Structure 1
Amino acid sequence: MPTSTVENYLKQIYIDQPTDEATMMPMGRLASAVGVTPGTATAMIKTMTESDLVVYEPRTGVRLSPEGESLALQVLRRHRLVELWLVEILGLDWSEVHEEAEVLEHAISDKVLARIDALLGHPTVDPHGDPIPTADGDVVARAHTSLPRCETDKPLRIVRIADQDPEFLTYADQNGLVPGARLIVERRDRIADAVTIRVGGHDPITLGTSAAERLLVEPADGQTADPR
């Protein structure tokens, strides 16, 4: 059974690795993501290579093997189901459940996880809109576009919040920027590097582009988003 450290590496590689299967995730990026030195990350990846969990190429990077990807999806499923359980059943705020799930994902049994899944009605997304892998390892992700790329004056719906930072999640919640919320882009200011949006009937909100990029949206009318 993989250790919690190995599971953390597998999950992080899955989340951050390029979608192109032939492209490796740089070791420096992985080390930064898991909060260790490049040397420590490289030593761990070499150990995981011996277990056929990853494919590692020195001076190039790392990617998951089929076995490693399967295990990563199991960890991700536990993490996201636990997050939703903490919010929906225990009443924790969505800004604080990520760190709690980081601990619980390694301790929860398959039996308890199955019960949580059933209790929650077999959900497909976590509180932040991230897709929950199925027990068979399938991931059904909805098509989305980052907010700054959408044209103005078109109805949009938030699908996913691509950030686990507690401060950003608190800000998003206070301003109604949650999955399912409807909004429009009123103006994009490329010089100021900002986007002005209106959520429902509330006053306009101006976000820096870097913050707006964390909001992933789809057309509220069900049509394909039209990036500009």
Structure 2
Amino acid sequence: MDALLNPTEAYLGAVLECEEIGTDALRARLAERIGHAPSTVTQTANRLIRDGLLFAVPGDRRLYLTPEGRRLALRVMRKHRLAECLLVDTIGLDWAWAHTEASRWEHAMGDRATELIAELLHHPERSPYGNPIPTLAEAERGAALPHRDPAAVNALRRTFDADPETPASIVSIGETVQSDPALLERFAAAGALPGTAVLVERSGIGVRLTALAGPETPLDLDHAQAAQVFVA
């Protein structure tokens, strides 16, 4: 995430991404996701609270989006995921690099250009990583996040809840994994892409995904990485 281009959008987007994957938006977690020093995160978060875009509850270390902060964060998420679709489906950028490049585009795309891109792409509902794209109406009213498949769980949890011989389908890949092009190249090499059927089993470092159709090259993920891969 390139927080130098627009720190406000980067911080609000990070809080929204934490909400999407079901983790608490703690200042320490934002520092890790954005790559800023803890003191910088504290200063920026306090400014966004003063600006009415974030709020915190006394005694609760979590940060929350205000209605206006949510509207802005959803607009940025929409731009980002439409940019990913454009980069992969129209321009032909390698899938592994779409998130990194879209993190720059999202801050430069105006609203009119964004909606023209949506029309050009026939209003896609999901990004190349399987994540729902908020509609314009959802972004404007600050709606709740579009949901993944309600049956989806992260791959780490599935190793405890399901028979490893029962295939699963990859629904989506979280933002943290998307930020690592080298790791995404391993996903692609293993054929472990959104929409593909895989076996999910425990491995020495955490979780192993094996695509049922494709190169049959297993993909080993540590616990943190597996928690960002959602399957159903």
- CA shift, 1:172, in A, is 0.6
- CA shift, 1:19, in A, is 7.8
**Aligned amino acid, residue 9 of structure 2:** E
Q: Which residue of 1 aligns with 2:181?
A: 166
Q: Which residue of 2 aligns with 1:16?
A: 18
Q: Which residue of 2 aligns with 1:216?
A: 230
- CA shift, 1:47, in A, is 1.4
- CA shift, 1:193, in A, is 4.0
How far apart, in 1, do the equivalents of 2:226 and 2:135 lie? 29
2:146 is the alignment partner of 1:146: no
**199, 213, 216: which is aligned to 1:184?**
199
Would you say how many aligned residue pairs link Structure 1 and Structure 2? Answer: 212
5+ residue gaps, structure 2, are: none
User: Under a length normalisation based on structure 1, what TM-score does the superposition of the two structures give?
Assistant: 0.82
Contact 1:133 1:140 in 2 (8 A): no
Q: Per the alignment, do residues 202 and 82 of structure 1 end up closer, same or farther by CA in structure 2, a change over 3 Å counting?
A: closer
2:216 is the alignment partner of 1:203: yes
Contact 1:177 1:199 in 2 (8 A): no
Q: Per the alignment, do residues 91 and 206 of structure 1 end up closer, same or farther by CA in structure 2, a change over 3 Å counting?
A: closer
Any residues of structure 2 matched to 1:28-107 within 5 Å, and which? 28-57=28-57, 60-107=61-108
How far apart, in 1, do the equivalents of 2:205 and 2:147 lie? 36
- CA shift, 1:206, in A, is 5.6
Q: Which residue of 2 aligns with 1:126?
A: 127
How far does the alpha carbon of each residue in 1:13-36 deviate from its partner, in whole angstroms, 9 at most, with x for none?
11114888xx96321222222111
Instruction: State the 4+ residue runs in structure 1 displaced beyond 6 angstroms.
Output: none
Deviation larger for 114-123 or 151-160: 151-160
Contact 1:16 1:25 in 2 (8 A): yes
Q: Per the alignment, do residues 18 and 62 of structure 1 end up closer, same or farther by CA in structure 2, a change over 3 Å counting?
A: farther
How far apart, in 2, do the equivalents of 1:170 and 1:8 lie? 25
Q: Per the alignment, do residues 202 and 133 of structure 1 end up closer, same or farther by CA in structure 2, a change over 3 Å counting?
A: same
How big is the alpha-carbon RMSD for the aligned residues of Structure 1 and Structure 2? 2.5
